[in-house]
């Protein structure tokens, strides 16, 4: 029993120390930049059975996005349940994540794991403005996944 309590205390300390985020419903979509800063679903990669995406910035402004590498953004996945988007996977611990530039006119390709069951889903990526004062959530379009 003491070992269980000690492990729970260590877990709470680790989460508090590293400041891992928890999902919130007050993330702001960028209405004014809609379709100018985007995540576009490009279909399934037939060789790897992963979903293919493109993240891009067609504005004249500089942004960054949270990622483990230029082509490996930190992604949350959501599924549509009874008309509401709910987190299927929330990347709560961002160890190793850095801000990568999303320069005006640039875009990058990346792959993401498909859901483990048939559903309507989308991905979410956090971006920041040039000053890093404001962060936003951007979303892919809805994707119908059917497990073959």
Cα–Cα distance between 68 and 114 in angstroms, integer?
19
Q: Of 22-26, 65-69, 78-82, 139-143, give the lowest mean pLDDT range.
A: 22-26
pLDDT of 6: 40
| pLDDT 10s digits, 77-127 | 999 999 999 999 988 777 889 999 999 999 999 999 999 889 999 999 999
> What residue segments make up the domains of the chain, in order of their start?
24-145
Burial call 24-47: b when 16+ CB within 10 Å, e when fewer: eeeeeebeebeeebbbebeebeee
Q: What is the pTM of this model?
A: 0.75
Give the count of beta carbons closer than 10 Å to the beta carbon of residue 125.
Answer: 23
| Pick among 2.30.30, 2.60.40, 1.10.3470, 2.20.28: CATH of 24-145 | 2.60.40
| pLDDT 10s digits, 27-70 | 444 445 666 899 999 999 888 889 999 999 999 999 999 999 99
């Amino acid at each position: 029993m003491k070992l269980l309590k000690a492990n729970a205390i260590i877990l709470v300390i680790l989460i508090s120390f590293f400041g891992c985020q928890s999902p919130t419903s007050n993330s702001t979509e960028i209405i004014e930049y809609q379709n100018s800063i985007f995540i576009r679903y490009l279909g399934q990669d037939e060789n790897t059975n992963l979903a293919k995406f493109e993240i891009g910035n067609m504005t004249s402004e500089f942004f960054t996005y949270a990622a483990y590498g230029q082509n490996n953004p930190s992604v949350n996945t959501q599924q549509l349940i009874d008309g509401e988007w709910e987190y299927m996977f929330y990347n709560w611990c961002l160890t190793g994540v850095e801000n990568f530039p999303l320069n005006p006119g640039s875009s990058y390709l990346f792959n993401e794991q498909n859901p483990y069951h048939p559903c309507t889903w989308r991905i979410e990526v956090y971006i920041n403005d040039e000053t890093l004062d404001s962060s936003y959530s951007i979303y892919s379009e809805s994707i119908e996944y059917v497990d073959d």
